[in-house]
Structure 1
Amino acid sequence: MQGFILSLQSEFYKTRKTLAFLSAILLPLALCLMVSAGFYLNAHKMVNHSAEMQWMRFSGAFIGVMGSLLLPLLIIFQSFSINNIEHKAEMWKSLFSLPIPKWSIYSAKFVYALFLNALCLTLFATFILASGIILDLLKPELKFNEFSFAGTLFKLHMKLFLASTGILSIQFLFSLLWADFLKPMGIGLLLTVFGIITANLGWKYAFTIPYTHPMLAINSIMKQVLNNKNQQMTFDLMSKEIWFSLAVATVTFVIGYFVIRNRSVK
């Protein structure tokens, strides 16, 4: 356990000043500022919407693009960046020469990748909520304060996090296998586009493709919310694509360990 904690701390210190870490903070902040500015400047066009609808429109401006494209691309970049430090500096031999089990080193890297994803999505939810509160102070006519959206917003982002674990595990494995950026990025981008197409076409087996899971999760949320118009916005956290995403993450995590265990460092 001590080896795992030391490896996890090492990952943080190695990446804290890199784009891999900074993107998890700056991207949610930048997007929230831009969307908030748009709502502020066009508040007079939205005063007739209910408070519930305002929150749905405001958060939907982020969630739609995030689930279909932005989140998979961010995961692809962050997963590659975490292992690229070792590839670039040829540090695998140094890492494995330490008196720390390979299992601890590998699992710490994977957990850190999960942490970056969780941090990014948590900040998205936090910044969206904070932006709505600030907009309500600046433009009370938007009525953001008339509906409590915090619980729904964080639950929604939790579902997106669970839906993205399959993509993260696959891209993490790709970044272990290849040192160059083009292979994991190219394959990841191709699979993301393929996932968007199959999800939009409504293919009944689209859930078997991990790159469709964030988009399918959003579609599942919207379907449940629209079917409960007269109730508060409720949806199931665990759905078919979430279970499949977690299964893919588990299997791929084990495969990645065997890749690391058998890696030659000579």
Structure 2
Amino acid sequence: MNAITYLITSLEMERLKINRTLVVWLAIFAPAFVVVMAFMAGYTNGDKFYQPGVNPWINFCEHLLAGWSLFIFPLYVSLLSALYAALEHQNRGWGYLYSLPVPKSSIYLSKLFVLSALIALSHVLLVFFGLGAGWLMGQLKPAYGFQDFTIPAFMPLACMNLFVGGLGVIVIQLLISLWYPSFIIPAGVGLFATLASAIARSLPVSHYSPYLWPYAFLANTLQVNHWSYTILGWSVSVYVLGAMISLFLLGRRSHV
């Protein structure tokens, strides 16, 4: 068997492993939570947010993207990666996995790709849930004007780029989650890093934190041409470098 065949086999094993687990439900719940919060805020205080004749989708999407990128996304990645790794830690499955006649690299890469795919799915759901919430708002509160406009084109583009901007967080949190069997350590690191980055976001040095990159990418504007696309390159670089470091570190251990 070649490396690609081993990886495909490992991916199929991971798919079966997460089926009907809290890992999948969390990937769905996180974007739904953000949309519900934005919907409730708009429904109760829409008179303050939405002006007559102005596309209300712009303000609604702004709330979604700001809340998701600054707090929910990095915290969600931290919890999801810790929960995902716990499937092996709790069942002591690492010894079994490392006894299989497959390269350790395929085991790690399959987990990294599955975790990345789940987080990509969450960004797709953020767009669709937001679209559904805006349609419902138009039915319940026609005075806000949601039914008279369409969701801005920047929303799906922003979600796609936010996912890329969060790749650095994904690879970091997965390594921490695989290295430490305790659920509290990776979750705590993610919580501390997220809060520290958010509090210090006005400082130039804070933009070196991968946990702030999704938010920093938007550059406090909905103008697509003004987004910080350089951050996407940083994130992809950290993702690739982090994967290589993880392969080296985890490959040297007899067990995780």
TM-score, scaled to structure 2: 0.88
Identical-pair percentage: 27
Whether the 8 Å CA contact 1:173–1:256 is kept in 2: the answer is yes
* Equivalent position of 2:206 in the other structure: 206
- The verdict on how the C-alpha distance between 1:250 and 1:49 changes in structure 2, with shifts beyond 3 A counting, is farther
Structure 2 counterpart of 1:107, one-letter code: L
* Equivalent position of 2:15 in the other structure: 12
**Aligned match for 2:250, one of 240, 246, 260:** 260
Matches for 1:128-139 after TM superposition, within 5 Å: 128-139=130-141
Structure 2 counterpart of 1:5, one-letter code: I
SS class of match (2:225): coil
* Equivalent position of 2:106 in the other structure: 104
* Equivalent position of 2:38 in the other structure: 35
Partner deviation per Cα, 1:155-185 (whole Å, 9 max, x = no partner): 1111211111111111111112111122222
Structure 2 counterpart of 1:19, one-letter code: L
Structure 2 counterpart of 1:263, one-letter code: R
| Cα distance in 2, alignment partners of residues 180 and 24 from structure 1 | 21
Structure 2 counterpart of 1:172, one-letter code: L
Structure 1 regions of 5+ residues with no counterpart? 226-232
* CA shift for structure 1 position 189: 1.8
* CA shift for structure 1 position 6: 2.3
- The verdict on how the C-alpha distance between 1:140 and 1:12 changes in structure 2, with shifts beyond 3 A counting, is same
1:217 and 2:220 aligned? no
Matches for 1:153-232 after TM superposition, within 5 Å: 153-199=155-201, 201-203=202-204, 205-218=205-218, 220=219, 222-223=220-221, 225=222
* Equivalent position of 2:72 in the other structure: 70
Structure 1 counterpart of 2:196, one-letter code: F
Structure 1 counterpart of 2:214, one-letter code: P
* Equivalent position of 1:247 in the other structure: 237
- The verdict on how the C-alpha distance between 1:81 and 1:49 changes in structure 2, with shifts beyond 3 A counting, is same
**Aligned match for 2:59, one of 54, 57, 61:** 57
- The verdict on how the C-alpha distance between 1:261 and 1:51 changes in structure 2, with shifts beyond 3 A counting, is same
Q: How many residues align?
A: 253
* Equivalent position of 1:230 in the other structure: none
SS class of match (1:263): coil
Whether the 8 Å CA contact 1:152–1:234 is kept in 2: the answer is yes
Task: Write out the 4+ residue segments of structure 1 that deviate beyond 4 Å after TM superposition.
Answer: 41-47
| Cα distance in 1, alignment partners of residues 228 and 72 from structure 2 | 22
* CA shift for structure 1 position 37: 4.2
Structure 2 regions of 5+ residues with no counterpart? none
Whether the 8 Å CA contact 1:83–1:176 is kept in 2: the answer is yes
Cα RMSD for the two superposed structures:
2.3
TM-score, scaled to structure 1: 0.85
Whether the 8 Å CA contact 1:213–1:241 is kept in 2: the answer is yes
